[in-house]
A and B are shown apart, each in its own frame.
Chain A
Amino acid sequence: MANFHTDALANSGNGTAHAKQEGAKSANTRGVAKIKAESVNVFYGENQAIKNVSVDIDERQVTAFIGPSGCGKSTFLRCINRMNDVIESCRIEGRILIDDNDIYAKGVDPVILRSHIGMVFQKPNPFPKSIYENVAYGPKIHGRTRNKSELDSVVEQSLRRAGLWDEVKDRLAQPGTGLSGGQQQRLCIARAIAVDPEVILMDEPCSALDPIATARVEELIDELRQNFTIVIVTHSMQQAARVSQKTAFFHLGHLVEEGPTDRIFTNPEDKRTQDYITGRFG
């Protein structure tokens, strides 16, 4: 379905048709690998941050990356939407395929790629603009809507899907930075899904939130799984256990172990995984 070459942007098409297609497909495509990483190596200058990682990420599932600080899980996450491109010293080897298209192939425009792969960051980072502007920005720059009323409905839909609509519908013109931390993070999620991506990458989305806000975001992640492929980096093993179907454990740049979340947490194969999840290091 996805083709990230510049000339194929028109394919991303019109929202309703897209949704119908998804509804029909959701039953049989779940569990199929959406993202395939094949022996990915990442270097920062001389330092190798990711060492020969190969992993499959299933469609419409939540995949959690866990591991101690500095193990490379965030770096790997940022390879999936080419956010590392902006770091000059960063060099990437290997292939990352999304729907069997190599995102590092020649002619792939990272700008188009990122409009198909949304990202939510560690610290809520809404633009210092109104709530409406925050959500509308993506659809606007990608020309996804033809007029104001269409844009309005995309904004409303996105905020509804992020579970924020009822809280902010009366103050859409107020700055997004004025919301509470949890609301800001859900606003960032709404901003990410407003461009109708296929994959959402979340880089420790709850680490700056209190337990109640965290619970809301986790609920939301579980709901979003119906429509999006989600990859989440987390430091909290409970969170990984709660929200994810698959878990991958990273250590010192290596992918140590991956598999269904239940198995990783109950019956890990590798000694290091076991030590980490039982809290012996990390």
Chain B
Amino acid sequence: MTKAGSRIVDLVLLIAVIVAVWQGIYLLAGDAALSAPLETVRHAIELLARPRFWLDIGESAHAFAYALVIAWLGGVGIGVWLGGHRLSGDVAEPILVALYSLPKVTLYPLILLLFGLGISAKIAFGAIHGIIPVAIFTMNAIRNIKPVYVKTAWTMGLSPLATVRTVLIPACLPEIVSGLRVGFSLTLLGVLIGEMFASKRGLGFVIMNAIGLNDVRTMLAVTLLLFVFAALANSALLALDRHLHKRV
């Protein structure tokens, strides 16, 4: 069998196992706790046909897109600065790691008070989840760059900005993409958590509402859709990641 072929077989098997486990738990726990896989898929398709549901998707997508742009650009910017400037990096690294491992949900009330209820609070909350891992990955990538590249740039008399643009970022691209991938997942999680608390719109709210109404089908259907979206986006970034790592 070809390599790609065996990978597809693996994937199908993995999905089959997940569905089997899901069905098993459903049979064990019953209707009150879980809906069956097939029924959930059917309900998800039904939800996708409702215009009202697309408003919530739109709200979440909007918040997520802004948060992601802020997290990616901000994270790479901070990472380049901290990786390029030795002292700043040494001082900031433990602080960044400490911030990364904080339960950021504790800060959510503060963000709500600063930004008010609404989309800007969600964006801010999503962005603070994603920005730190992107910064950490980028910083480490730039620090581990071969010194000869930097020396070459210096010899050629490149300005700092040109050095970053033409030497540092291309050389670190694979690691930066790994960071962007982690940042993607965490930003999505942040936006959703933001919507689950003190929000009236978006997919997180739909889930919370379904939880409140004990509407298990909707809850699982939305989770399934989110998972499929995250999985597809993640595999695309992962493929890019592997491609870039291979190229170097």
A complexed with B: no
Interface residues of chain A, those whose CB is within 8 Å of chain B, are none
